Amino acid sequence: MKKVLLTILQYVIFFGLGIWIIYHMIHELTPKEESDLLFALKHVNLPILIPVFFIGFLSHFFRALRWRLLLKTIDVNPTIINTSFAVFIGYFVNLGIPRAGEVAKCTILARYEKVPPHKLVGTILAERAWDIVCLILLWILAIALQASIISDYVVAFSHRFGNYVKKHESVFIIAALVLVAAIISLIAIYRRHRENAIGKFIKEMSHGVSSILRMQSRWAFLGYTVLIWSMYTLQIYFGFMGLPVLASFHLTILAALVVLVYGSIGMIITPGGIGMYTLLVAEILTAYKVGDIPAQAFGWIAWAVQAAVIVVLGIISFSFIHLYNKKLHGQTLVDTAENNEP
């Protein structure tokens, strides 16, 4: 019961934060800025979104292939199509309920591959731990390669944030009180398990990462990891080309990498990255001298395209996974009968 209450409280708080960010971003726009934002959104180069969509599909497909390698270490050998369907559905569920997607993809794959769901949980923890390590490494790499640009941005952002806090002091006081109340509530719910939770999380991460480094197919696993994050970066880079108002800023692949790591934080904080992804992407693009409106327009488009990829793949997977397995298992029964004939 405590775990359910904790999950609900977390969802309400962070979903509410995302909605508040959206309201704030729109409310702060002047009529002229609203018109400019709509103009930028209406003049998206739609043909360029086709490769962006395909790259998004590849990133999730490579993730399915990588998960399949982990599953083989526990003697589970699912088909590539079932693994892909499970991953797509997992992402789709995550849009609405954070972290429920991991449960969904384990449950679905277990159902169609006839294995116990709990047997797959360890592979999910290993993947999550590895992705956290990768995100940290990419963050360090992005800062190191774009140090001069990022440092200038941090100074400018600190100045702007200080002025904003003075202007909206009452809002920040209320937000701080709400945050304190939320923290107290979380502590009250989790007070008996707080020490165990931290230790368990660290143990799970270290075990997950070490198990990957020891697996026989570790080089293939690392290769898929590089492909996954490369697709994420290329998706952002091609997205730059899809927004004509960004053409004059000549944003590079390194800029796409920086946007990726910032946007990833937004995806973690709020459900599906709602609000927070757009805010962080728009903020970091100002480091590259991109105006507030073009930066915000790209943030909305990038978030919408990524969500659209997940929704389309999720719906397709829900629609066809049963039909695929009905045909697959039907064919398997026929083959078995033929092989048993004298």
pLDDT tens profile 128-150: 888 888 998 998 888 888 877 77
Taking alpha carbons only, the member of 44, 38, 40 closest to residue 26 is 38
Classify residue 32: in a domain, yes or no: no
How far is the C-alpha of 271 from the C-alpha of 115, rounded, in Å?
A: 30
Per DSSP, 280 falls in state: H
Classify residue 35: in a domain, yes or no: no
Q: Tokens for 166? A: 């003075």
Per-residue pLDDT tens over the stretch 153-162: 665 555 555 5
Q: Is the per-residue pLDDT at 13 higher than 50?
A: yes
Q: Which residue has the tokens 């979380």?
A: 186
Classify residue 36: in a domain, yes or no: no
Q: Residue 327 class from Cβ within 10 Å (0-12 exposed, 13-18 middle, 19+ buried)?
A: exposed
Q: Is the per-residue pLDDT at 206 higher than 60?
A: no
Residue 168, H or E segment = none
CB 209 within 8 A of CB 126: yes
Q: How far is C-alpha 209 from the chain's CA centre? A: 20
Q: Residue 128 class from Cβ within 10 Å (0-12 exposed, 13-18 middle, 19+ buried)?
A: middle
How far is the C-alpha of 82 from the C-alpha of 95, rounded, in Å?
A: 20
CB 109 within 8 A of CB 90: no
Q: Which residue has the tokens 């004059």?
A: 248
Per-residue pLDDT tens over the stretch 95-114: 877 778 888 998 999 899 88
Q: Tokens for 291? A: 């105006």
Side-chain-side CA neighbours of residue 213 (13 Å): 9
- When mean pLDDT is compared across 6-15, 75-84, 333-342, the lowest value belongs to 333-342
Classify residue 174: in a domain, yes or no: yes
Classify residue 101: in a domain, yes or no: yes
Per DSSP, 154 falls in state: H
CB 120 within 8 A of CB 73: no
Domain extent at residue 196: 2-25+45-331
Q: Tokens for 249? A: 């800023």
Mean of the per-residue pLDDT values of the chain: 81
Using DSSP, state whether 252 is helix, strand or coil. Answer: coil
Mean pLDDT of 313-323: 93
How far is the C-alpha of 236 from the C-alpha of 18, rounded, in Å?
A: 21
How far is the C-alpha of 263 from the C-alpha of 135, rounded, in Å?
A: 11
Degrees, nearest 5: CA angle 330-332-336: 120
Q: How many domains does the chain have?
A: 1
How far is the C-alpha of 313 from the C-alpha of 45, rounded, in Å?
A: 22
Classify residue 338: in a domain, yes or no: no
pTM score above 0.85 = no
